[in-house]
Amino acid sequence: MILFDIAATEIFSNKQALIFDLLGETKVNKLSEQVEVANGGLVERRKFLKSGATFLSVLAASSASSAAQTDVFDDHPKHMKIPGVASELYGEPSKYESHVKRLPEHVYGSSIITAAFTPIDQLNGIITPAGLHFVVHHNGIPDIEPSDHEFKIHGLVHKPLKWSVESLLNYPMVSRVHFLECAGNSGPNVIADAPMDMTCGQIHGQISGSLWTGVPLKYLLDEVGIKPNGKWAMCEGADSGNHVRNIPLQKLYDDAIIALYQNGERIRPDQGYPMRLFVPGYEGNMNVKWLHRMEISDIPSQSKDEQSLYADITADERVKQYSFNMEVKSVITKPSGKQQLPMSGFYEISGFAWSGRGKVQKVEVSADGGKTWALAHLEGPIMSKSLTRFTIPWRWNGQKAIILSRAMDEYGNTQPTRQEWVSRYARYSHGHNNSINAWLVSNNGRVSNFYV
C-alpha cells in the first residue's frame, strides 16, 4: 500500500506535514469522504486501494507543479553535489536512524536477571535486525571462544558423544523464519491494576522474528541413539548462571535445531554464541543460549529455573508447570502507545500476529472498543510459528477511539480478553499473557495504553 508507505510512516516521525502542505487539509478530508467506511472507520482494503490511486495522483501532481516553478539544477540538495563515502567493512544503520535502539537493559524480576526489549513500534516487516532482537540474561553474557566450547549429549543413550563448534559447522543445516517470545512478554498489562502509559515496545517488546539457521537436533540424537526409556532432555547453558530447561524429546525430534546463524550471520554473543538451542513456538527461556550439555532422562529434572521462575500460578493457587507453547497473539504496533496522530484522516493500522502452535489463520481489528470487528489483511508469506504482519486502512474522525486486534490460528485458538485471562491466573502471575491489547486514541490524537 504505497499511500501508507508515504504517509503513515512519516506521521510517526513528524514529517507528514509535507503531504498536507502539498494537498491541503480540505483535499485530504474530501478524499476521506470518497471512501465508504464502517465499523468505527475501518475500511475494506480493496475499496481503499482504488481510492488510494486518486490520493497518489493528486500528490504527484502537486509535487510536479511545485518542482516546475524552480530551476531543477539549482534545487539539487547538497548531497547530490559532492562524492559519497566508501562502504564500511561491516555496515551500520544510517546515523539518521540512531534513535532506533533496544530499550535500555534493566533489572527484570531479580537482582541478576536483566532484559532489553525490541522497539517493535519503530520497526516494520517480520524480521528483527539482530542488533535489536530482545534479550534476557540470567547472569550476563559469557565471552566464549569457539575453540573452548563443546556440546555433548549423554544420559540414557547408547553412545555418549560430544561435538566441537567446528564440527557442527560442517553438518547439513536448515533455515527457517520463526518468532521468539519471552514468557513474560506483555506482563505489565496483567500485573498493573491500571494501564501503564508506556510504548508498545516497553509493554510487548520481548518478541522478535529472525531467520534461524542450524543443525536439526534429530541428526545428533540419532547419532547417540536414545534408549527406549529416554523421554526428556535436560538442556544446560554454559553461562555462569547454568540456566537449565527440560524439554520433551518428541519436540527435539520434531523441529528443534542447534542454531549457529541468525539472519545469515553467526549468532551474536547475546543470542548464545557460539550456539544455542532453538525450539520453535516454545517460550523464550527454553531456547537455551550457549548450549553445552544435554542429558537424556526418563523424567524432567525439576531445575531451579523451572520451579522458581517459569511456573504459572492459577487463580485457585495451583502451580502449572511446563506450559511450553506461546499461544496465539497479536499486537497493534501502529498507532500505539505514546505515538501522536497529527490530524483526522486516513491511517494504516498495522501490527503482527503469531502462534506457537502453527500458522495465523486470521486477524480482526476493532476501532470501537470491540463492539464491531473487521477482517485485516495478512501479508504473506504466512509461515508456521512465525510473525505475520497485518494491516487495515482506518479513517480517524478526530474523536476518541479504542483500537484493538485479535488473532486466530489454524487450529481455531483465539486470543482471550484481558478480563478472561486475569480470571484464570493469580494476580501476581504474569507469564504467557496472550490477551487482547487495546490502545486509546484521544481526541487530540495522542495514543495510550488502555484496558477493555
Residue ranges in the chain whose pLDDT is less than 50: 1-34, 53-68
On whether the CB atoms of residues 23 and 61 are closer than 8 A, the answer is: no
pLDDT for residue 304: 78
Same fold, 1-59+325-452 and 104-310: no
CATH number of 104-310: 3.90.420.10
150-155 and 291-297 beta bridge pairing: parallel
On whether the CB atoms of residues 434 and 354 are closer than 8 A, the answer is: no
On whether the CB atoms of residues 157 and 226 are closer than 8 A, the answer is: yes
pLDDT for residue 428: 83
pLDDT for residue 406: 98
* 33-77 pLDDT per residue, tens: 445 555 788 987 777 776 654 433 333 433 444 444 555 556 788
User: How far is Cα 124 from Cα 119, in angstroms, rounded to an integer?
Assistant: 10
Candidates 213, 112, 134, 139; CA nearest to 181 is 134
Give the right CATH number for 1-59+325-452 from 1.20.58.760, 3.40.50.880, 2.60.40.10, 2.60.40.650.
2.60.40.650
* 390-429 pLDDT per residue, tens: 999 999 999 999 999 999 999 999 999 999 999 999 888 8
Cell numbers representing residue 432 in the block: 504467557
Say how many C-beta atoms besides its own lie within 10 A of residue 382's C-beta.
15
Candidates 133, 179, 134; CA nearest to 386 is 179
Instruction: Provide the angle, in degrees to the nearest 10, between the axes of the packed helices 45-68 and 2-11.
Output: 70
What is the full DSSP assignment across 184-249?
TTTTHHHH-SS-----HHHHH-SEEEEEEEEEEHHHHHHHH-B-TT--EEEEEESSTT--EEEEEH
Query: What are the extents of the domains in the chain?
Result: 1-59+325-452, 104-310
